[in-house]
Amino acid sequence: MSIQTKILKQGWLKKWTNYFKGYCYRWFVLTNDALGYRYYQEEDATGSTKFQDYLPLEELAIPPSDHQTKFIANNETENKTFYFKATSHEERLQWITAINEAQVSKEQRAFKSKYQESTNSDTNERCSIEDSQERSCTYTNENTQLSTESVLPAKTLKPPLSREKKHRQRRQCIPPKPQNNGFSMWFLTLGNLPLSFFEPLSMIQRVTEQFENSAILDRASQAADSCEQLALVAAFTVSGYRSSAIRSHSPFTPLLGETFECDREDLGFRCISEQVSQNPPTLAQFAESTNGLWTYWQDFSYSHKYGLSTLKVEPHGISHLIFKGSGNHYTWHKVKTVVSNLLSSERKVDHVGDVSIFNQTNGETCHLKFVCDSSATGIDKRVTGDVINRGKIVQWRLSGKWDSEIEGFKMISTTNAKKNDNQKCSPSIRLWQATAIAPEAKTYYNFSAFACELNEMEEDIAPTDSRQRPDQRRLEEGFFDQATREKTRLEKKSNSTTTEREKSQKKYTPVWFKEEGDKFNEGLKTFVYKGGYWESKKNQNWSMCPNIF
């Protein structure tokens, strides 16, 4: 092959040839298009780079390895693999880093060219498109796909609330992920996961993704009655699972004291989260409507159990939601998650079980059932539910899929919730529809545009904010080995701090949350927001924050 392009790095490396010759020196050349080698250092008379063999950068993957001098580069498309042996650990890291940087640079050039037109488009037009397409749960004739024969009274169809648009240009993608998808059972026996198993977001950021659909809560605050409001709350609950359908990488486990703020006046909410416990890992979160329509808080922890090729995650903690206008206070818990094909790069995520949403103010409930995926029945990601009033009468039927949409049917003829009679209902109303993901997103962890914005650096954030985390930032930028070293350093630092705290018999005290009893769930504790975060940000007073990075 002859490539007329820029040479980024070149030098002698040992390459495995066969069982008779073993490792032999070859002259390797890394360009901004490929990694290739030849037997001799000299170029031909034309100055072109002729390769004996090569691997294109866009199809090159380097599986993670703890070996000091050896590493592998392969092309799964052509079933071609190069086995390398460097003279030292430092030389190995130099080559791997150079390859990763070349891959990122190549992908960034492609993305820059592809998105140049969209990033230069009119900002007001972009906001209009996003508002209509990404947040399509508006109770109007145009957006709910109501039949013209709908029997619902017109007063139940509420228009969307107007929101002041902030015309800040936010990024729509991140650098492509390093192609390191190798996984071994060895990592499970050590209780540790390779960095290729992670995406460049913290769990504390991942749980914030549900507020991409906060417009559902705004519209629920304007619902005609409490049962309609409960149906919308259920749709919001289901929408929070959507990202896991196409995102099989694990988020980073937050460090103790790690925080994340998400101040989105353009979307009508702001949120602050904090990792409040390390054993068990627990995060606390508080969110509120910037229009004063609702407040939300939760504490979230989980336990997990590994199988031969599965991972079962059991969530713990209660979510609380209060609407200011109606005074209705809702509580619910999260559903169990099962990750299968754990040893494969094509991991599968499913959510299984029942969720009950309680209106603690008037006794109404919504029972949701997440149906287990079954190839025999053809049921996949299905969710069904009933909204039941205090008289045990079904008022709404819910149906859909947790990765795409939820529809609601208002019951016309009432029946007891325990009976299975044929009932009349209104035409379906779309309560939630998932935002489309760009086709190119498969190269950057299948992130939605909103997910890409979560780790975008902002000014004046707390020093403990997840966006300040160096290992996560290095992974996003594509520097795999640097990210691995930073992750190891941070974990050692966190463990050392914990050991010192235990020796002094001091209990960790969260900065922004406090623990108290949950009045609706006897015997359970919950973390509630103490206040003061946004005031500290305004005054840039972060003296109370621990040094965790």
Measured in whole angstroms, the distance separating CA 101 from the mean position of its chain's CA atoms is 24
pLDDT tens, position by position, 91-128: 888 888 888 888 877 776 766 665 555 445 444 444 44
Q: What is the dihedral of CA 425, 426, 429, 431, to 10 degrees?
A: -40
For residue 295, what pLDDT band results from cuts at 50, 70 and 90?
Answer: very high
pLDDT tens, position by position, 59-78: 888 876 667 778 888 776 77
Tell me the domain boundaries of the chain.
2-106, 121-490
**Mean residue pLDDT across the chain:** 82
Check whether 511 has a pLDDT greater than 50. Answer: yes
**Highest mean pLDDT out of 34-38, 253-257, 337-341:** 253-257
Check whether 45 has a pLDDT greater than 50. Answer: no
For residue 414, what pLDDT band results from cuts at 50, 70 and 90?
Answer: low
Please report, rounded to a whole number, the percentage of residues in the chain having pLDDT higher than 90.
Answer: 48
**pLDDT value for 61:** 81
The token pair at 333 is 């818990």
Q: What is the pTM (predicted TM-score) of this model?
A: 0.70
Collapse the DSSP code of 22 into the 3-class scheme (helix H, G, I; strand E, B; otherwise coil) and give the result. strand
Q: Which residue has the tokens 């909204």?
A: 387
**pLDDT value for 126:** 40
Collapse the DSSP code of 297 into the 3-class scheme (helix H, G, I; strand E, B; otherwise coil) and give the result. strand
The token pair at 357 is 């949403």
Check whether 482 has a pLDDT greater than 50. Answer: yes
Amino acid identity at 311? L
**Highest mean pLDDT out of 8-22, 40-54, 60-74, 283-297:** 283-297
In contact, 27 and 7? CB cutoff 8 Å = no
Cβ neighbours of 480 (radius 10 Å): 24
Check whether 291 has a pLDDT greater than 90. Answer: yes
In contact, 450 and 209? CB cutoff 8 Å = yes
Collapse the DSSP code of 490 into the 3-class scheme (helix H, G, I; strand E, B; otherwise coil) and give the result. helix
pLDDT tens, position by position, 171-195: 889 988 876 544 443 344 334 567 8
Check whether 154 has a pLDDT greater than 70. Answer: no
b/e map 270-296, b = 16+ CB within 10 Å:
bbbbbbbbbeebbbbbbbbbbbebbbb
**pLDDT value for 331:** 97
What Rg, from alpha-carbon coordinates, does the chain have?
Answer: 26
Average pLDDT over residues 4-19: 84
Cα within 13 Å of Cα(313), Cβ side: 17
**pLDDT value for 481:** 84
Among 102, 146, 104, 348, CA closest to 248: 348
**pLDDT value for 373:** 64
Average pLDDT over residues 514-518: 93
Q: How far apart are CA 245 and CA 427, in angstroms?
A: 28
In contact, 450 and 212? CB cutoff 8 Å = yes
**pLDDT value for 164:** 46
For the domain made up of 121-490, give the CATH fold: Porin (2.40.160)
In contact, 54 and 37? CB cutoff 8 Å = yes
pLDDT tens, position by position, 347-406: 788 899 999 999 999 999 999 999 876 554 456 789 999 999 999 999 999 999 999 999
Check whether 43 has a pLDDT greater than 70. Answer: no
Check whether 525 has a pLDDT greater than 50. Answer: yes
The token pair at 400 is 């859909």
Q: What is the DSSP string of 164-208?
A: PPP-----S--PPPPS-----HHHHHTT---GGGEEEEEHHHHGG
Q: Which CATH number is correct for 2-106, 3.40.50.12780, 1.10.3720.10, 1.20.1730.10, 2.30.29.30? A: 2.30.29.30
Check whether 536 has a pLDDT greater than 60. Answer: yes
Average pLDDT over residues 530-543: 97
Q: How far apart are CA 150 and CA 271, in angstroms?
A: 37
Query: Pick the residue with more confidence: 162 or 69?
Result: 69
The secondary element (H helix, E strand) that includes residue 13 is strand 7-18
Q: How far apart are CA 138 and CA 144, in angstroms?
A: 6
**pLDDT value for 343:** 66
Q: Which residue has the tokens 């990592």?
A: 187
Average pLDDT over residues 262-276: 96
**Highest mean pLDDT out of 103-117, 191-205, 498-512:** 498-512
In contact, 455 and 466? CB cutoff 8 Å = yes
Average pLDDT over residues 242-247: 88
Q: Give bridge partners of residue 277 from the DSSP assignment.
A: 282
The token pair at 509 is 């005290």
In contact, 70 and 78? CB cutoff 8 Å = no
Measured in whole angstroms, the distance separating CA 143 from the mean position of its chain's CA atoms is 27
Check whether 522 has a pLDDT greater than 90. Answer: no
- Check for a shared fold between 2-106 and 121-490: no
Helices (H), 346-479: 449-454, 470-477
Query: Pick the residue with more confidence: 115 or 486?
Result: 486
pLDDT tens, position by position, 210-244: 999 999 999 999 998 999 999 999 999 999 999 88
The token pair at 30 is 């890394």
